[in-house]
Amino acid sequence: MRITFCTDLEKSVLVNNFEKRGWIHVNPEEEWNFYWAGMQTCRNLFGLESGYRMNDNQIINHFPNHHELTRKDLLVKNIKRYRKELERDGNPLAARAPNGKYLYLNFVPVTFVLPADYNMFVEEYRKNPQSTWIMKPCGKSQGAGIFLINKLSKLKRWSRESKTPFNPNLVKETYVISRYIDNPLLIGGKKFDLRLYVLVTSFRPLKAYLFKLGFCRFCTVKYDASMQELDNIFVHLTNVSVQRHGGDYNSMHGGKLSVDNLRLYLEGTRGKTVTDNLFKNITWLIVHSLKAVSYIISNDKHCFECYGYDIIIDNNLKPWLIEVNASPSLTSTTVNDRILKYKLIDNIISVVLPPNGIPE
Amino acid sequence: MKDCGMETVIKNKVFHWVRSHKNNPLQKEPVTYLRKAQLQWEKRIHKSLNSMAAEIKVNLAQLRHTADREELEDKWNELSIYDIELSQYRPVYAPKDFLEVLLCIRNPNYRTIDRVSPWEFVHFPLKVKTLGELRALYQEVARGEPLLGVDPNVRTHQSFPSLMVERTLLGEKVINRNHAPVTQEFLKKGAPRSLRAKLWAQVMGTEVTASDRQRFNELKKLVLKYDLVVDKLIIKDIQLTASNDHQYFVFEDLLYQVLLCFMRDTEVLSVFNGSASNPVHGILKGRNPTLENTVVYPPSGVIPFHGFTMFATPFCYLYDDPVELYFIFRAFYMRYWYRLHEVSSNQQGILSLCVLFERLLHRYESELWQHFKKNGIQPIRVAFKWIMRAFSGHLPPEQVLFLWDMILAYDSLEVLPLLAVTVLSLRRDNLLAVDNFQNTEVTLFLFSFRS
């Protein structure tokens, strides 16, 4: 049997991988076995009105309600609930330190949804009025619409300005506001975040694979925590799509350092024990984030999904989960990037297909 | 003495003294035609530097203008944003220019029989080690003893789950002993990542003291005070190499500091006592050309070439403090790297290393040798930049660090041509399938992605 595939994304790292396996390119209306779909297609396909039912030999690259994990506000809501459940069950994982913080489950920065949690945010804000907060629109990605806030008045001004003239009580979009990690780990004086890839083939039981190759994305501008730099978004945001518009973007390396080299650097300069600990904590962070949604995601056996995890490491080598992306970019910015993404897709296909290569 | 640790200090001092004098006979190059070749090469560098300075209309050295000085001081920790016009500056020379010079050297007492193959180093009348002698030098490797860089997970001892664990526990003991010869011996099988910074500093005697910090600060002040053309050259070199390299770009700001200070460091001049080369001298502007008015240029006597930065980049994975980084880099340069860009008959010199490379290839990879020869490919052209940069930038950082472990452990650069031959040997089948120089390079480049 020849396998047929279709894809909404004409990316070479995808198509090359499919064709290398001798698969046949078909249109979505035809019989397909393997669909690399965009999110809109998935929504339509899984929507009740479409009536499409997948047969045994079909698989697709998204879970129907992945937004429970990938939308910033829902992720936070689910993690908060997960922690409470564990705590209620007396699970030792939910132990708290004397200061009230979770010992093992404190891996997302304090976050509130605006406008809904505005009062809770203000209460938290008053505890630490000098700290900085970061505002992100829930529905957007790749750094769009993000800004930093260090005064309540600035938030109030934003809230006034963003009200539409027609419905003055409604803020156009939902935002999350999170405590900004103001003590990030710097390498060579530069700030970065970590992009890791996690493949999930089943949520119940949880089957997840961490891709060995990941990378750090560096800011092109030196990190400076002082306030006058607050408006220079290039200092703070490490998304390549943001950084590419910065003046100093380098197309040879794209601001990316491999996770292997990060590890080499950390072991060399900080030691093995703390480095091992960091990577162990990163793995736990991923596991907990997935467990937090495992009973909410509809565990369709035709689905798999590759998530892009964005993690920031602080200067105590503690990892913080920033967000999870359901459609991590497959655009290659450099030669190494292309190799990495090609291998990523190759590994994903090898894992999701049974040994005989036919979806079942 | 023993109790207060003085004994260790004295023992290590003696060791470092003996080590630094062993390979450096306080004698200039004994072979006349090589001495002449080096002299001519220096003249060319000198001339090229002068003509560039004249073309751009800048002084080789001058007091830094106040505004520039303030900017430099202000941006000292982020010199990547110290934005100066460098488009007219170009590297004084690149490895391939230096190779051309080496290839043109002729022994006046020696004539090749067929006279038509002037390109082979294999017949160059320099004594280099045979494979047997290399085996004796690298006996632990020759015996096939397990190396950390080959397989950290192999189990070699029943009381340890892996070589990695074994080496880490042993390495910690070695560090606590702090006895440099023992540390050097330990490096033969490769250093665990987390211990390497300390181990290397022990072997090279570069544990940073308060006076070292002061020294570095003085060098920094000199950078701020004087504006040298070589500053621009080194900044340009970092921009052309490390800043574009996906393995090293994050460290560019550290490298600017370290290399700018290095250009000012007169202690580096001591390498010229035992080397074939001489620093460039200049006469102070508007003074009489007398000895008192003659100065060494730059103060360290080192004129950077294209890729010089790569001598320093791998250390960035070991030290995040610029001072520690500085002193280990300087020690490596003064012990090893200076030999890679001068003409000399020393066994550690680049010429001997090239001869060793070709002799090994000729003797043990004769099929490949014949294939190269038939197609007019000069094997040294493939391997020269690897050797001249000690493989930095040509292997992933961790592998470079393992290689440099070996350089320190055996106190010899001969591992570089040995590895170069091994790489070609490993890729023999692919290399035999291509018949020109360009495709040979492409073949080797493609394989560098799969480690």
Q: What is the pLDDT of residue A27?
A: 92
- Contact by Cβ (8 Å): A333, A256: yes
Lowest mean pLDDT: which of A171-180, B9-18, B350-359? A171-180
Q: What is the pLDDT of residue B113?
A: 61
Architecture category of domain B340-447 in CATH:
Orthogonal Bundle (1.10)
Task: Tell me the one-letter amino acid at B360.
Answer: L
Task: Tell me the one-letter amino acid at B52.
Answer: M
The mean pLDDT of B143-163, rounded to a whole number, is: 88
Q: What is the pLDDT of residue A170?
A: 53
The mean pLDDT of B268-272, rounded to a whole number, is: 90
Task: Tell me the one-letter amino acid at A86.
Answer: L
Residue A233 has pLDDT above 90, yes or no: no
In chain A, helix, strand, coil percent, each to 5? Answer: 35, 20, 45
Q: Closest to B397 (Cβ–Cβ): which among A218, A221, A264?
A: A264
Tens of pLDDT, residue by residue over B50-82, are 999 999 998 888 899 999 999 999 999 989 888
The mean pLDDT of B22-28, rounded to a whole number, is: 63
B81 CB neighbours in chain A (<8 A) are 221-222
CATH fold of the domain at A64-109+182-325: D-amino Acid Aminotransferase; Chain A, domain 1 (3.30.470)
Residue A225 has pLDDT above 60, yes or no: no
Q: Name the pLDDT band for A318 (thresholds 50, 70, 90).
A: very high
Q: What is the pLDDT of residue A151?
A: 82
Q: What is the pLDDT of residue B300?
A: 93
- Contact by Cβ (8 Å): A180, A192: no
Closest CA to A295 of A204, A198, A202: A204
- Contact by Cβ (8 Å): B252, A188: yes
Residue A141 has pLDDT above 50, yes or no: yes
Q: What is the pLDDT of residue A252?
A: 80
Residue B282 has pLDDT above 50, yes or no: yes
CA dihedral B74, B80, B81, B83 (to 10 degrees): 100
**Residue A351 neighbours by CB under 8 Å, 6+ apart:** A199, A201, A209, A304
Determine what percent of chain B is predicted with pLDDT higher than 70.
Answer: 94
B320 CB neighbours in chain A (<8 A) are 187-188, 269
Partners of A187 in beta bridges: A190
Q: What is the pLDDT of residue A40?
A: 86
Q: What's the token pair of residue B251?
A: 């460290």
The mean pLDDT of B190-213, rounded to a whole number, is: 95
Q: What is the pLDDT of residue A52?
A: 81
- Contact by Cβ (8 Å): A344, A213: yes
CATH fold of the domain at A110-180: Dna Ligase; domain 1 (3.30.1490)
The residue of chain B nearest to residue A247, with distances taken between CA atoms, is B81
Tell if the CB–CB gap between A272 and B192 is shorter than 8 Å: yes
Closest CA to A231 of A138, A110, A323, A150: A150
B246 CB neighbours in chain A (<8 A) are 252-254, 256-258, 334, 336
Partners of A207 in beta bridges: A202
Q: What's the token pair of residue B365?
A: 């990879």
**Residue B165 neighbours by CB under 8 Å, 6+ apart:** none
Residue A314 DSSP SS3: strand
Q: Name the pLDDT band for A147 (thresholds 50, 70, 90).
A: confident
Chains A, B: CB contacts under 8 A, how many?
79
Residue A228 has pLDDT above 60, yes or no: no
Q: What is the pLDDT of residue A7?
A: 95
Q: Which helix (H) or strand (E) holds A24?
A: strand A24-25
Q: Cite the beta strand spans of A26-172 per DSSP E.
A: 34-36, 59-60, 111-114, 133-137, 147-149
Q: What is the pLDDT of residue A183?
A: 92
Q: What is the pLDDT of residue A242?
A: 55
Q: Which of residues A168 and B175 earns the better pLDDT score? A: B175
- Contact by Cβ (8 Å): A274, A228: no
Residue B188 DSSP SS3: helix
Residue B115 has pLDDT above 70, yes or no: no
Alpha carbons B375 and A316: distance in angstroms, whole number: 57
Q: What is the pLDDT of residue B449?
A: 45
Phi–psi pair at B328, nearest 5 degrees: -70, -40
The mean pLDDT of B150-155, rounded to a whole number, is: 88
Alpha carbons A79 and B165: distance in angstroms, whole number: 37
Tens of pLDDT, residue by residue over B38-48, are 999 999 999 99
Q: Name the pLDDT band for B23 (thresholds 50, 70, 90).
A: low
User: In chain B, what are the domain boundaries?
Assistant: 22-108+207-335, 340-447
A255 CB neighbours in chain B (<8 A) are 249
Q: Which helix (H) or strand (E) holds A192?
A: strand A190-203
Residue B328 has pLDDT above 60, yes or no: yes
Q: Which helix (H) or strand (E) holds A209?
A: strand A206-210
Q: Which of residues B217 and B151 earns the better pLDDT score? A: B217
Q: What is the residue-wise DSSP string for A270-282?
A: H-HHHHHHHHHHH
Alpha carbons A38 and B140: distance in angstroms, whole number: 57
The mean pLDDT of B428-450, rounded to a whole number, is: 80
- Contact by Cβ (8 Å): B283, B294: yes
| ipTM for the predicted complex | 0.92
The mean pLDDT of B243-264, rounded to a whole number, is: 95
Q: What is the pLDDT of residue B451?
A: 39
Chain A contacts to B (CB-CB under 8 A): 187-190, 192, 218, 221-222, 248, 250, 252-258, 260-261, 264-265, 267-269, 271-272, 275, 334, 336, 339
Q: Name the pLDDT band for A235 (thresholds 50, 70, 90).
A: low
Region at B376 (left for phi over 0; alpha for psi -120 to 50; beta for the rest): left
Q: Name the pLDDT band for B278 (thresholds 50, 70, 90).
A: confident
